[in-house]
C-alpha cells in the first residue's frame, strides 16, 4: 500500500502547485450558496471536482482510488442519503420529525376509522393494542369484533360522546364529596367520579407514571381504556400536550423499525429496515438530522466496523474486573502452598509466604529447601514443581499484553478525538479572527470545520477497528484489514498534526490546500476500510479468505 | 395536589371505620392523616397464622387516594411478621394492589386490610419470598420505590 502515500503526496503537490489560484472547491462553494446544508454538500462535491482535475494530471496513477462517485458520508446529513450510490457498509434509513410521526399515526387511524366504522379514538386504541399492525387488526376485528374490543379495553356499545354531567345525589367514591352540583365524569363503563378526582387521577398517570396509551378507568378491576377525547375534555392544555407526546412515544416504541434518536433534546425518530438477526453481518449506522450518528441496532454511538455483539463484549471487557484479574495473574504469583496472591516488590528470590510461612523460590516456584547452597541465585530450570506455575503465568501475560495492545490504541483514539475537538473549539474562535485578518470569507474558513469533522469520524472508526482486531481470527484477510487500518491511521495522524498548527500558519494558502486534501483523503481511506470490512463480514463466516470474528 | 384532598377523604374513611370494621380488623391508632396503625387477624384456622395478630402501618401521601398508601407489617414484641411468600421479613409487602399499576383510587384502608387478610388466609406456604435475606440486608428504598416484579398472579 505504499503507492497510496505516494499518490497522496503527488496530489498535494499537484493541487498546491499553482499557488496563486485559490483552490477550486472553495470557489465553487462560494457561488450562491445560501444555506449551511447546501454548503456542506457543495464541499463534498467540491472535493470531487478537485479530484477530477487531479485525475487529469496523473491519470493512471490514481486508478485504484478513483472515488469520484463515492458519497461523502460524514458531510451528507440528508434525507436523500440513500439515493446516492451505495457502498457495502451503507444502509438505508429515513429520519422522521415529530410532525411526520404524528401524520403516520393519523393516516393509519383514519384508515381504520373508515374501514371498520368506529370512532377515531377507538381506532387509535385498537391500533395501539395491535402495535400498529393494521392488517392483523382488521382481520381479527372482522373475525371476532367483541373479543377484540374487550381485549383492547373498549366498550362494545358506542354511546354518545363523553361529557361532564351533574348527577343529583351523587357521591364520589374517591374523594367522598357529595356537594350539590358536582361535575362528574364517566367513560363508557359508567364508573362515575367527580371531575376533580378524574383530573387528579389522569395527571398522576401522565405526569408521575408516564402512562398514556393504557390509562384505565380508575375503578378497581375495570380495564376500559380512557380515550384521547375524554382526556382532552378533562385536563389542562399542558397535560394534554404531554399526553400526546407520550402517545407518540408509544408509536415509535411499538414499531421495531422505528427508533428515537438518542441525542439529548432531539425529537426525531429513525426508520431502518435492518433486522435484528442480521446485526452480526451489518452495522446499521444512521445519522439523524440533528447530525448525531448512532447504531440503529444498539443505539450506541457509531461503532463501524465492529458489529454490535463485538461492541457489547468489548465494552464489558473494558469495564469488567476481568482485566484486573488478568493483571493479578500476570504480575503476581500464588504461594504454591496456600495460594495467597503475592506481588514481589523487590528483594531476593527467597520468598516466605506471610500467611503460611511456606518458603519458595520466586523464579522457579520450587521449594526453597531444594535450592541447597545456590541461594539467592536460582539457576535451576527443569524442576517439575516450577514449570507448571510458570506456564500458566506466561499464558495470561501474553493474553494481557495482547488485550492491552488493542485497548491502548482504542483508548488513545478515543482520547485524541476529544482533544481534536477541544482544539477545534479553540480554532473556531480563531476562524473568526482569521476571517477578519486575511479577508477570507466565512465559507473560505470552513475547511477547518470539515477537517475537524473528518478527524472525529475517522477516529471513531479507528477506535473501533482496534476492538474489532482484538476479536479478529488471524487468516489471509487479516493483513488486508490491518493495512487499511494503518493507512487510515497514518492519514488521520498527519491531518491531526496539521490541524494543530497555530492560526498564523493556518492562513497560509498552501497549508489550507494540504488540509483540504488530507481531509478528503482521510474520508476516502475510511470509506475503503469500512467498505472492505463490511463486504467481508456480509459474505459469510468460516471462509479463510474472508474476515472472521472469534466471538 | 393539596393535602386537603387526602385529608377530606381520610376523614370520611375514619368516620366509617369508627362506626364499624369487618371482623378481624381493628384500628389501633389514627392520630393524624399521615400514619395509621391497624391490627389484622386471620379468621379461619390456617395453622400458619392461628391465634396470631399482625400490626399494619399505613402511611398516606398528599396524593392519596390517587396514589396508593405505603403499607407494611410492623414487628413488635407481641406482633410478628407473618410468614408468606410475598412478605419480606422486614415487613415489606410485595403485592400489586399497593403499587401504581395495581392500585385503584377506589380502594381504601378497609379494603386493603381485607385484601391482605385474605392473602394470608389463602396461603399454605410457610416461606419467605426468594432472596429475602439479601433484600432485607440491601434494601434502602421505600416500598413504593421498589420495582417489584409480579411473577405470580394467584395471590
Q: Give burial (CB, 10 Å; 0-12/13-18/19+) of B60.
A: buried
B105 touches A at CB < 8 Å: yes
ω into residue A57 within 30 of 0, thus cis?
no
When pLDDT is cut at 50, 70 and 90, the band that residue A367 belongs to is confident
Give the best residue of B4, B6, B60, B105 to mutate against chain A (max A CB count within 10 A): B105
Least confident among A253-267, A326-340, B115-129: A326-340
**Is pLDDT above 50 for A327?**
yes
**B72: pLDDT strictly greater than 90:** yes
What's the fold here for domain A99-253? Herpes Virus-1 (3.30.40)
Residue A194 annotated among the catalytic residues of the structure:
no
Chain B residue nearest residue A220, CA to CA:
B104
Which of B61, B69, B106, B111 to mutate to probe the A interface, most A CBs <10 Å?
A: B106
B9 vs A: CB within 8 A: yes
Closest residue of A to B15, CA-based? A176
pLDDT, position A178: 84
Closest residue in chain B to residue A192, using alpha carbons only: B106
Instruction: List, in sequence order, every residue forming a beta bridge with A295; answer none if it has no partner.
Output: A285
Contact B106 A218 (CB under 8 A): yes
pLDDT given for residue A280 in this prediction:
82
- Percentage of chain B exceeding pLDDT 70: 88
Within an 8 Å CB–CB cutoff, is residue B4 touching chain A?
A: no
Query: Quick check: B106 and A200 CB within 8 A?
Result: no
> CB B104 to CB A200 under 8 A?
no
Q: What average pLDDT does range A120-131 have in this prediction?
A: 90
Q: Could you give the CA distance from residue A495 to residue A522 in angstroms, rounded to a whole number?
A: 8
d(CA B93, CA B116): 9
Q: Which of the two residues, A321 and A92, has the higher pLDDT score?
A: A92
What residues in B contact A172, CB-CB < 8 Å?
none
Distance (Å, rounded) from C-alpha A50 to C-alpha A526?
19
Give the per-residue pLDDT at A73. Answer: 45
Q: Which residue has the higher pLDDT, A546 or A49?
A: A546
What pLDDT does residue A478 have?
Answer: 85
CB nearest to A204's CB, from B63, B106, B107:
B63
Between A551 and A336, residue with greater pLDDT = A336
Chain A partners within 8 Å of B67 (Cβ): 204, 208
Q: Which of A276, A295, A279 is nearest to A287 (CA)?
A: A295
How confident is the model at residue B150, as a pLDDT? 55
Nearest to B67 among A177, A197, A204 (CB): A204
Asked if A200 and B66 come within 8 Å (Cβ–Cβ), the reply is yes
The per-residue pLDDT for B35 is 94
Q: Pick the residue with more confidence: B69 or A336?
A: B69
Where is A93: in which H helix or E strand? strand A93-96
Q: Tell me the per-residue pLDDT of B22-51, one tens digit each, with 9 for 90 and over.
A: 999 999 999 999 999 999 999 988 899 988
User: What is the residue extent of each domain of chain A?
Assistant: 3-84, 99-253, 315-320+395-550, 333-392
Q: Tell me the CATH architecture of domain B2-130.
A: Roll (3.10)
Q: Which of B42, B94, B113, B119 is catalytic?
A: B94
Q: Which range has the worst mean pLDDT, A82-91, A94-103, A452-461? A: A82-91
Q: Which residues of A touch B66 (CB under 8 A)?
A: 174, 197, 200-201, 204
- Per-residue model confidence (pLDDT) at position A117: 85
Whether B104 sits inside 8 A of A220 (CB atoms) is yes
A3-20 pLDDT per residue, tens: 333 333 333 333 333 333
Measured from the Cβ of residue A177, the count of other Cβ atoms closer than 10 Å reads 19
**pLDDT for position A441:** 78
A410 vs A445, which has greater pLDDT? A410
3-class DSSP state for residue A455? helix
Distance separating alpha carbons of residues A371 and A83, to the nearest angstrom? 77
Which pLDDT score is estimated for A7? 36
In this structure, what DSSP letter does residue B141 have? Answer: S
Q: In angstroms, rounded to a whole number, what is the distance separating the alpha carbons of residues A181 and A179? A: 6
> For B60-140, where are the alpha helices, taking DSSP H only?
109-121, 132-138
B16 touches chain A (CB under 8 A): no
Q: How confident is the model at residue B13 (pLDDT cuts 50, 70, 90)?
A: very high
Residue-level pLDDT at A300? 92
Omega before residue B65 within 30° of 0, cis: yes
Name the percent of chain A lying above pLDDT 70. 75
Nearest-CA distance B66 → chain A (Å)? 6
Q: Which fold is adopted by the domain A315-320+395-550? A: 1.20.120
Dump pLDDT digits (tens) for A238-248. 899 899 888 88
How sure is the predictor about A318, in pLDDT bands with cuts at 50, 70 and 90? Answer: confident
pLDDT digits (tens, 9 = 90+) for A373-390: 555 456 655 556 566 666
Helices within A260-383 (DSSP H only): 308-319, 322-331
For residues A447 and A435, the answer to whether their CB atoms sit within 8 Å is no
- Give the pLDDT mean for A50-65: 40
Better-predicted residue by pLDDT, A266 or A393:
A266
| Residue ranges covered by each domain of chain B | 2-130
Across chain A, mean pLDDT equals 77
C-alpha cell at B19: 362506626
Mean pLDDT highest for which of A54-63, A385-394, A403-412?
A: A403-412
Interface check for B144 against chain A (CB to CB < 8 A): the answer is no
- Residues in A whose CB is inside 8 Å of some CB of B read 173-177, 193, 197, 200-201, 204, 208-209, 218-221
Count of A–B CB contacts within 8 Å?
40
Under 8 Å between Cβ of A46 and A25: yes
Could A175 and B1 be called an inter-chain contact, meaning their C-beta atoms sit closer than 8 Å?
Answer: no
**CB within 8 Å of A242: residues ≥ 6 apart:** A206, A207
Listed in order, strand segments (DSSP E) in A227-317 are 258-260, 269-272, 285-287, 293-295
Task: Record the pTM.
Answer: 0.60
| A419 contacts A394 by C-beta, under 8 angstroms | no
Answer whether B12 touches A (CB < 8 Å).
yes
Q: Can you tell me the distance from the alpha carbon of B6 to that of A540, in angstroms, rounded to the nearest whole number?
A: 65
Q: In this predicted structure, what is the pLDDT of residue A57?
A: 40
- What's the CA gap between B130 and A71, in Å, rounded? 57
In this prediction, residues A538-546 reach a mean pLDDT of 61
| Binary contact (A201, B66; C-beta < 8 A) | yes
The grid cell for B26 is 381493628
Contact between A175 and B107 using a beta-carbon 8 Å cutoff: no
- Which residues of chain B make contact with A174, given a CB cutoff of 8 A? 9, 65-66, 105-106
Q: Do B107 and A220 touch (CB under 8 A)?
A: yes
Q: In 3D, which of A283, A307, A306, A309 has the Cα closest to residue A296?
A: A283
Compute the distance between CA of residue B56 and CA of residue B37 in angstroms, rounded to an integer.
6
**Nearest Cβ partner of A200 from B1, B8, B107?**
B1
Picking from A405, A396, A293, the residue whose alpha carbon sits closest to that of residue A341 is: A396
Q: How far apart are the first and last CA of chain A?
A: 29
ipTM: 0.79
Amino acid at each position: 500500500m505504499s503507492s497510496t502515500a505516494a499518490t497522496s503526496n503527488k496530489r498535494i503537490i499537484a493541487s498546491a502547485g499553482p499557488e496563486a489560484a485559490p483552490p477550486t472547491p472553495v470557489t465553487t462553494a462560494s457561488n450562491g450558496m445560501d444555506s449551511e446544508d447546501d454548503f456542506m454538500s457543495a464541499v463534498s462535491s467540491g472535493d470531487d471536482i478537485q479530484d477530477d482535475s487531479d485525475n487529469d494530471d496523473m491519470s493512471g496513477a490514481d486508478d485504484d482510488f478513483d472515488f469520484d462517485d463515492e458519497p461523502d458520508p460524514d458531510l451528507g446529513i440528508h434525507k436523500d442519503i440513500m439515493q446516492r450510490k451505495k457502498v457495502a457498509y451503507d444502509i438505508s434509513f429515513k429520519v422522521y420529525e415529530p410532525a411526520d410521526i404524528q401524520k403516520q399515526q393519523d393516516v393509519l387511524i383514519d384508515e381504520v376509522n373508515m374501514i371498520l366504522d368506529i370512532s377515531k379514538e377507538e381506532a387509535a386504541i385498537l391500533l395501539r393494542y395491535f402495535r400498529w399492525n393494521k392488517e392483523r387488526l382488521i382481520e381479527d376485528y372482522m373475525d371476532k369484533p367483541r373479543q377484540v374490543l374487550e381485549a383492547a379495553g373498549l366498550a362494545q356499545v358506542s354511546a354518545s360522546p363523553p361529557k361532564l354531567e351533574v348527577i343529583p345525589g351523587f357521591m364520589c367514591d374517591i374523594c367522598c364529596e357529595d356537594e350539590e352540583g358536582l361535575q362528574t365524569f364517566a367513560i363508557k363503563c359508567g364508573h362515575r367520579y367527580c371531575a376533580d378526582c378524574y383530573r387528579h387521577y389522569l395527571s398522576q398517570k401522565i405526569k408521575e407514571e408516564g402512562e398514556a396509551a393504557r390509562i384505565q378507568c380508575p375503578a378497581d378491576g375495570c380495564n376500559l381504556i380512557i380515550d384521547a377525547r375524554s382526556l382532552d375534555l378533562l385536563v389542562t392544555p399542558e397535560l394534554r400536550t404531554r399526553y400526546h407526546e407520550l402517545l407518540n412515544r408509544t408509536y415509535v416504541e411499538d414499531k421495531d423499525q422505528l427508533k428515537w434518536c438518542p441525542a439529548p433534546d432531539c425529537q426525531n425518530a429513525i426508520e431502518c429496515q435492518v433486522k435484528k438477526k442480521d446485526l452480526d453481518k451489518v452495522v446499521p449506522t444512521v445519522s439523524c438530522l440533528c447530525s448525531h450518528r448512532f447504531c440503529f441496532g444498539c443505539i450506541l454511538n457509531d461503532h463501524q466496523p465492529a458489529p454490535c455483539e463485538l461492541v457489547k463484549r468489548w465494552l464489558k471487557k473494558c469495564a469488567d474486573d476481568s482485566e484486573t484479574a488478568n493483571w493479578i495473574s500476570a504480575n503476581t504469583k500464588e504461594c504454591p502452598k496456600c495460594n495467597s496472591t503475592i506481588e514481589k516488590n523487590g528483594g531476593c528470590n527467597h520468598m516466605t509466604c506471610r500467611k503460611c510461612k511456606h518458603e519458595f523460590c520466586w523464579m522457579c516456584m520450587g521449594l526453597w529447601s531444594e535450592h541447597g547452597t545456590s541461594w539467592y541465585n536460582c539457576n535451576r530450570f527443569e524442576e517439575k514443581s516450577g514449570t507448571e506455575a510458570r506456564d500458566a503465568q506466561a499464558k495470561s501475560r501474553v493474553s494481557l499484553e495482547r488485550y492491552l495492545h488493542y485497548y491502548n490504541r482504542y483508548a488513545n483514539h478515543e482520547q485524541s478525538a476529544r482533544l481534536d475537538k477541544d482544539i477545534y473549539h479553540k480554532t473556531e474562535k480563531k476562524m473568526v479572527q482569521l476571517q477578519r485578518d486575511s479577508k477570507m470569507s466565512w465559507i473560505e474558513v470552513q475547511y477547518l470545520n470539515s477537517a475537524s469533522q473528518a478527524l472525529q469520524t475517522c477516529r471513531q472508526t479507528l477506535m473501533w477497528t482496534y476492538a474489532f482486531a482484538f476479536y479478529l481470527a488471524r487468516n489471509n484477510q487479516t493483513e488486508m484489514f490491518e493495512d487499511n487500518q494503518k493507512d487510515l491511521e497514518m492519514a488521520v495522524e498527519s491531518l491531526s498534526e496539521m490541524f494543530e498548527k497555530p492560526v498564523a500558519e493556518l492562513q497560509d494558502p498552501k497549508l489550507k490546500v494540504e488540509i483540504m486534501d488530507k481531509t478528503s483523503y482521510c474520508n476516502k481511506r475510511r470509506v475503503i476500510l469500512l467498505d472492505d470490512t463490511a463486504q467481508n463480514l456480509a459474505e459469510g463466516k468460516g471462509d479463510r479468505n474472508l474476515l472472521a470474528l472469534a466471538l | 395536589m393539596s393535602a386537603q384532598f387526602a385529608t377530606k377523604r381520610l376523614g370520611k374513611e375514619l368516620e366509617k371505620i369508627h362506626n364499624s370494621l369487618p371482623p378481624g380488623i381493628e384500628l389501633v391508632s389514627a392520630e393524624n392523616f399521615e400514619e395509621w396503625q391497624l391490627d389484622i387477624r386471620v379468621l379461619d384456622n390456617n395453622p400458619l397464622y392461628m391465634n396470631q395478630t399482625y400490626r399494619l402501618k399505613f402511611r398516606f401521601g398528599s396524593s392519596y387516594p390517587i396514589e396508593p398508601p405505603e403499607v407494611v407489617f410492623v414487628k413488635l414484641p407481641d406482633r410478628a411478621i407473618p410468614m408468606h411468600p410475598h412478605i419480606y421479613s422486614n415487613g415489606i409487602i410485595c403485592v400489586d394492589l399497593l403499587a401504581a399499576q395495581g392500585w385503584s383510587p377506589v380502594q381504601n384502608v378497609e379494603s386493603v386490610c381485607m385484601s391482605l387478610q385474605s392473602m394470608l388466609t389463602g396461603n399454605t406456604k410457610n416461606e419467605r419470598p426468594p432472596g429475602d435475606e439479601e433484600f432485607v440486608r440491601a434494601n434502602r428504598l421505600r416500598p413504593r420505590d421498589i420495582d417489584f416484579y409480579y411473577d405470580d398472579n394467584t395471590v
